[in-house]
Amino acid sequence: MRSQTLLIACIVAFSLLLLAGCVETSDTDDSVVTVNLYSLTDTIRCTLWDEMPHTPNRVPMIAEVLRDGQPAIGVPISIDLHAAQGWCVYNDSLQQCTTYVNGRVEFTYVTISCHGGCDTIIVSALGKSASAFVYFDMDTMYTLDLHVSRDTLYVPVGSEDSTVISVWLKTGMGVGLADSTITLMASGGRFDYLPPTDSMGRASTWWHTNHEYGLFTLLASFSHATDTARIVVDSLLR
């Protein structure tokens, strides 16, 4: 975790040095200046660092400077981040912070690790500014699969039988979630101890008939995720 934090801090610091070379200038005439900021999306779906450790999230953005409604050419802009959960990189390494013939500067907001909430990107030019929000949607969606090795058991009266119960817990990205405790419930019978999920998000245990007969419903749950399975226990007597 310390190495991750250091890596992000170094990248942010280097990017800030690049951005620092762009100094906003003030307008010297009576023209009407307008600054606009556009982004292709306002939401980043965050993933756990352990799932995708070197895959950055990117949001393409465009800053636009107009003077009297017309593109302002060759105007330097400055970029500031409020929460600084990421950094900005100019798309054109030569043009960088200076507006093109269309009055625009294209850049990309980048983040590797985010912790919910939002970041604010502020673009300034000629004494005017515009801002945009990037929201971080934490990947907290889970899916849970419950599987029984045998869903029909024929048990002599006075005897007991059992079947293996397996669970698989995954994030919304389809990655197994390790070291998680899943709750098991049933309308009858009894469970052995279910250990926390392994590195693949899987865990298994035994369900015993406990000298009971009939149709039983098993329920596995973790957070909002649930799954069910049914087991029929029948005697050999007809």
**What pLDDT was estimated at residue 27?**
58
Task: Output the six-digit token pair for 183.
Answer: 């709750």
* pLDDT tens by residue, 115-134: 566 788 999 999 999 998 88
Name the burial class of residue 156, with classes exposed (0-12), middle (13-18) and buried (19+) by CB atoms within 10 angstroms of its CB. exposed
Task: Output the six-digit token pair for 150.
Answer: 């045998």
β-sheet bridge partners, residue 132: 121
Cα separation, 185 vs 86, whole angstroms:
43
* pLDDT tens by residue, 175-210: 888 888 999 999 999 999 999 999 999 999 999 999
Nearest 5°: the CA angle 214, 220, 223 is 150
